[in-house]
Chains A and B, each alone.
Chain A
């Protein structure tokens, strides 16, 4: 079994799905399940595209895919979420089968590749699929804004990669990292690092490069909302984490600027969520704050807790966007006052939504609590007291707006909302809530992995 199958199978299925449109949802399901099972049998290490037998030299010639524990976790999460979202929207958005297959191929490639130009190619493939997914919102000006920002971000990323290639003579992340470590002058790499960071920042939703997010997610549905806020957010955070951990080493004034931007992202995201009166905007601004927090942890080298935060965030946001977007579709508005009493007749869904929200807030008994406690402890041990205080303050604001949202959704308003969630939706909500509860109470598996799950740096050290 070859790692490349994780990309090739969905890509092939995407082309077949264009011809056999009725079979597209089944192809998607098949490709997704194949990838999830295949991951159990794949060995970690390098795969060289094209089978170039002299590739494993010190220069790592050719395009290399790299599978380690970090990539495996990311791939499992992304492929599972795509399959779940596809199953839940089987009827409503079945014409998007080939688009989802394309996004699966692009995101898998993005998480696997070790070649920076190849990274750009997969970034663009995944982005093209994302643009098409947002077309389902029927808000074309917002989609256009997303396209423009995405192309600008991709171009800046490529600009940075080109400069790095001119400096080091390689596109391989490991070769570049070791080359910069031995021969590089830090001042020379500041410009490409900034370009790459901005380029990825657009997709990861970091302030101030995320102007597209509000338009796209504030008009999302049960398909586009979870895909962009959960799957893409997780995949892009994993991809950015890989680069931040191994390549983009920020030092001195640049580190100060990046940390300031990320802290502003956390605080501004939570403050904007606090000040809005629309449910979807609360979720999207919360996503922006979480994305900045994850990037901040990667910059500080707290890899494992950033990874867990990505997973918990993706699962929680999946539930929250599904619940809210389905309700918005039925009610015709996402104003909180129009959604008052949503859970009065949907107690089970309300309970699951509450559990997901409490986990994001970081309350005890939930996975979010363990993660928050550990990354705050790590920040304290790194001497980042100010950052810690600011994050605690932002968490307080986050708790206030989420509790306010929960109270409004649980207590009845003037009208009684009578809408139903189908059983597949309820099953997914229950499964996610169960995972969050189990990981919050039985924490041993969380401590089995450490910051070394990303093994690229090991490869750099051992040549």
Chain B
């Protein structure tokens, strides 16, 4: 019985496919896989907006929105109606085609990465051989859409915000990818389904998730910090800081396109969280072996909601990082730490199982963390190079 509830969506899909004529079966199969994802994640986005505003409100000792329905639960409906009916103002000197295409490209890229995320047992849209590489490749298209948005608005604030946003996203993309390389090394494959299947076992009641190893824990922390920076969330939201640069690269957008930017940003946040769950937290696997009767997709969404709650919590707690602090942190701390993490994972693989490898790898990672943070404190400037030209 638990197996049937676990596989209920797969069973429904196979039953439906039985009624589809043979010629269009691949197309119908693809559509049936894609449509639930395209419905569920925007609904999750709507729920997250109201959860975030109420959560932030409670952390700041105030109520969140509570007028739009019972405890403010209909606030996303109100926001949706507002953004759809607002006038779509485009600046006269803006580049019309690029201005239109920027949010479209952002949303396309954000939706496309859900194709490789396994939401439950046997529930992945495309089991690509190079799934993780596909995820990072499509994720890097977001930066181009940010540039398009900032440049096409033909405004100094939006261009400045776009430059900052792109610099931040490119800087944090390296620790993001390197933190996932550790997991790829341990699992031996780039396919997300294989990575989750490798974490689905249990020794007594403890799961085999990669986050419960020293290199996996470090990798998880690096990945989450880099994911926060990639989504331009607080404390890394200098590009969209509301008190400094108004709204950054989407100042000149109004109405539905603004809502599309929000959608794209939140979907990117969900996708990166889902990738973190797949790589480190065991995907759809239950945390203890006596809890496997709960369906796999319930565990996936429970973990996703926990990570979203952590994002909201961090947003309400930490102040914003300045731009140079942010860049120093990425290049001088996160990148060396992620490289040392890879070395640690390699040592883990070749040492025999037991307390020896736990101690060695933990010591390596902790020591490098402490030393790198010490190095970050001292501001060292490079020496000035002087040229003497002939004129």
**Is B one of A's binding partners?**
no
